[in-house]
């Protein structure tokens, strides 16, 4: 005999009730973290360290534009703009000019991974100034395929001379790789004229974009070495065979998917390069030189000693001062952060415990900001404990 319980509708209802009952017993054992239920809070600070630096409102606004697909034609157009902006900033006509989806460290690894193969030597300039004669002696002795030099050494506040080294590298069939993360836009660099084979920088210093993108350029010599290797690069993400296609540098009309680039980061990088183009490189270099000279005088008036005695070798974007005698540098920096909402930093690597670093670059490169930094230092010198020794 037929019963209402045999109805298909009743059967489906029972099934739904069973699923609802199953969901009422949650399988989630980790509750939502309390911090994620609070609004995001970010303090306003003066970033007067070696980077990142404060970002102009225009660049911040560009990063909040609507997201578009990383393979959309409009995105390719923006990437093409970025390429042209990098060529201007680097002073190069190199076709193989892109931005890495990552920090300056990513660009450094991209350069090394793509042009150096197992068993080959790399010569790295560490500490001090590499004069032309010393560089040539070292290259003759070690026969490297790559010579690496940091143009703006932010740990010491030093700007390395570059002229002449490119000629030596070409004489000895060695590629010349230069890091301008701390110097681009603040100190003159001419990739083509100075015969630099690979040049890279970061977005977060004098370029004044958020951290996370890193312009890099390879000339024809570097491309020949890079695309005629016997072994594949050790990184797929940094493989220029794929990245050159993604950036439209390999001559192919179709760009294949390689990775999802930081769309908002590229918006911000494009805008920061536009600001540099509008201002002009020479004006940017002049401004950094002027403001750094103003800062030097103010520091000396406070009785502080500049770490690099030769003014011509000082990095305009990051100034290093010797830690004042009798003071605890950590206490001073902590005091400045607490009472002035201002970041300055200690040394890095070999310069830890030797220097304090003040960065006034790009958007922050103003005499009014130098005055703020000097006032904060004077306040710290007055109120921080000084040992009797």
Per-residue pLDDT tens digits for 200-253: 999 999 999 999 999 999 999 999 999 999 999 999 999 999 999 999 999 999
Least confident of 85-89, 130-134, 138-142: 130-134
CA-nearest of 282, 317, 108, 102 to 206 is 317
pLDDT of 387 above 90: no
- pLDDT at position 271 over 60: yes
Res 385: pLDDT: 87
pLDDT tens-digit readout, 23-43:
567 899 999 999 999 999 999
Residues 154-202 pLDDT 10s: 999 999 999 999 999 999 999 999 999 999 999 999 999 999 999 999 9
Mean residue pLDDT of the chain comes to: 93
Position 7 pLDDT exceeds 70: no
* C-alpha count within 13 angstroms, C-beta hemisphere, residue 67: 7
Q: Mean of the pLDDT values across residues 91-120?
A: 97
**Tokens representing residue 150 in the block:** 């940091």
Question: CB under 8 Å to 235, separation ≥6 — which residues?
Answer: 109, 110, 113
Point out the least confidently predicted range of 107-111, 259-263, 370-374, 385-389. Answer: 385-389
* pLDDT tens by residue, 253-263: 999 999 999 99
> What confidence score (pLDDT) does residue 137 get?
83
The pair of three-digit structure tokens given for residue 94, joined into one six-digit string: 């190199």
Annotated binding site for substrate, which residues? 357
Binding residues, as ranges, are 357
d(CA 103, CA 49): 17
Q: Of 96, 128, 121, 79, which Cα lies nearest the Cα of 269?
A: 79
pTM for the model: 0.91
Whether residue 214 contacts residue 201, with contact meaning beta carbons closer than 8 Å, is answered with: yes
CB crowding 23-47: b at 16 or more within 10 Å, else e: eeeeeeeeeeeeeeeeeeeeeeebb
- How open is the CA angle 67-110-175, to the nearest 5 degrees? 140
Low-confidence winner among 125-129, 218-222, 232-236, 284-288 (lowest mean pLDDT)? 125-129
Q: What is the tens place of the pLDDT at every residue in 41-76?
A: 999 999 999 999 999 999 999 999 999 999 999 999
The closest of 255, 269, 263, 268 to 69, measured between CA atoms, is: 263
């Amino acid at each position: 005999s037929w019963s209402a319980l045999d109805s298909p509708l009743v059967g489906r209802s029972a099934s739904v009730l069973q699923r609802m009952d199953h969901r009422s017993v949650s399988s989630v054992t980790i509750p939502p973290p309390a911090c994620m239920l609070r609004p995001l809070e970010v303090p306003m600070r003066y970033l007067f360290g070696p980077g990142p630096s404060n970002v102009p409102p225009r660049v911040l606004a560009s990063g909040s534009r609507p997201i578009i697909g990383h393979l959309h034609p409009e995105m390719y157009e923006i990437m093409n703009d970025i390429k042209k902006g990098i060529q201007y900033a680097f002073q190069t006509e190199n076709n193989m000019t892109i931005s890495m989806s990552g920090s300056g460290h990513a660009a450094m690894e991209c350069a090394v991974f793509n042009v150096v193969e197992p068993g080959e030597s790399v010569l790295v300039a560490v500490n001090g100034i590499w004069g032309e004669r010393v560089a040539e002696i070292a290259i003759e002795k070690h026969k490297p395929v790559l010579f690496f030099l940091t143009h703006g050494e932010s740990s010491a506040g030093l700007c390395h001379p570059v002229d002449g080294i490119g000629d030596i590298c070409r004489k000895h069939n060695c590629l010349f790789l230069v890091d301008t993360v701390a110097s681009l836009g603040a100190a003159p660099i001419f990739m083509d004229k100075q015969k630099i084979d690979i040049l890279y920088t970061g977005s977060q210093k004098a370029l004044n974009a958020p951290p996370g993108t890193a312009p890099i350029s390879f000339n024809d010599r570097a491309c020949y070495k890079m695309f005629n290797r016997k072994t594949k690069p050790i990184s797929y993400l940094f493989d220029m065979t794929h990245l050159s296609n993604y950036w439209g540098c390999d001559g192919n009309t179709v760009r294949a998917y390689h990775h999802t680039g930081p769309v908002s980061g590229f918006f911000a990088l494009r805008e920061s390069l536009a600001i540099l183009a509008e201002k002009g490189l020479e004006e940017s270099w002049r401004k950094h030189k002027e403001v750094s000279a103003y800062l030097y005088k103010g520091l000396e008036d406070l009785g502080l000693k500049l770490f690099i005695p030769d003014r011509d070798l000082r990095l305009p974007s990051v100034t290093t001062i010797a830690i004042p005698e009798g003071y605890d540098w950590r206490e001073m920096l902590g005091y400045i952060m607490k009472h002035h909402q201002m970041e300055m930093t200690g040394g890095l690597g070999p310069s830890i415990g030797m220097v304090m670093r003040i960065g006034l670059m790009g958007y922050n490169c103003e005499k009014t900001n130098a005055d703020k930094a000097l006032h904060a230092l004077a306040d710290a010198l007055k109120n921080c404990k000084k040992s009797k020794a």
